Structure 1
Amino acid sequence: MTALRIDVVNGPNANLYGLDPSGPYGSLTLADIGARCEAKAAGFGATLRFRQSNHEGVLIDWIQAARTEADGVIINAASLSYGSIGLLDALSALGKPAFQVHVSNVFKREKLRHFSPLSAAVTGCIIGAGPMGYELAIEALVAQLRGEV
């Protein structure tokens, strides 16, 4: 059996995680989260590509590339979750399982964060589980890819 390939795509300002431990994102840096995700994926025998960009077009390019380079995608589109039609279209065209992660509980934040158009194009959403949400998304994606759910 070929190892599963998972792409994790992070959007604007996720590179700032961990800089304000009192904020909604906690004390783990994005590098810390990436290392935890790599360990989680390895436990399933999967490979993981963990990336971040502050540029919408780069995120779209990565999702399009995942059509041939990955078996599934996990996306934390950050602020682009609430209005990027380009990301919505890229996820809709992916043709593979995808999970959306929101590190914070968006329903306890500003009303503008209560709806994400991207949710319509993904297999599932993990919301408010903190950085562990990424690991939960990996577990859910692997189960989906293996036909266990």
Structure 2
Amino acid sequence: MATTILGVGAAVVAAMHLTWPEPQLPAMAYSVSAGEAGVSDLKPFSIDDVSGGAVELTPGSEGVRKVRLSNPNDVDIIVVKLSALPGTPVDSERNKVDGCPSGLLSVAPMDTPVLIPPAGEVQVEMVVQVAHDLPATCRDLVFPLTYSGHATRG
């Protein structure tokens, strides 16, 4: 029986046209599925966007987010699911902009499970897609991404 731990991370990571905001520490939390034995001793894995640059917000473009997954446990874990959901975009003053829904940006979920050794880390890439009908008023905004993932014991 596979025991699981769910690591959920929220990180403000931007997709901006020219500038990049100061990075913020992601808020990390986790929950364990009820009824699964042997999970309480596992620590949640961390999810950190380490891209260091913005995705160009031009209609129909694609970019890549580099994401570091870290295992603080003394056993192997396998991250079987990793996804990122765009939030409501904001301008440089962190104000919401009318007419720019979060759906203008999408991030393809990780499609291949990755093994992370004890106290180890792995870097994966996630593809960001910008809508073909991106309005001009949305091209210099920050789209926050909320990452979440699911892992099992290795």
State whether TM-score is above 0.5: no
Higher relative contact order (CA 8 A, sep 6+): 2
Asked which structure has the greater CA Rg, the reply is 2
More strand per residue: 1 or 2? 2
Greater helix percent: which structure?
1
**TM-score using structure 2 length:** 0.31
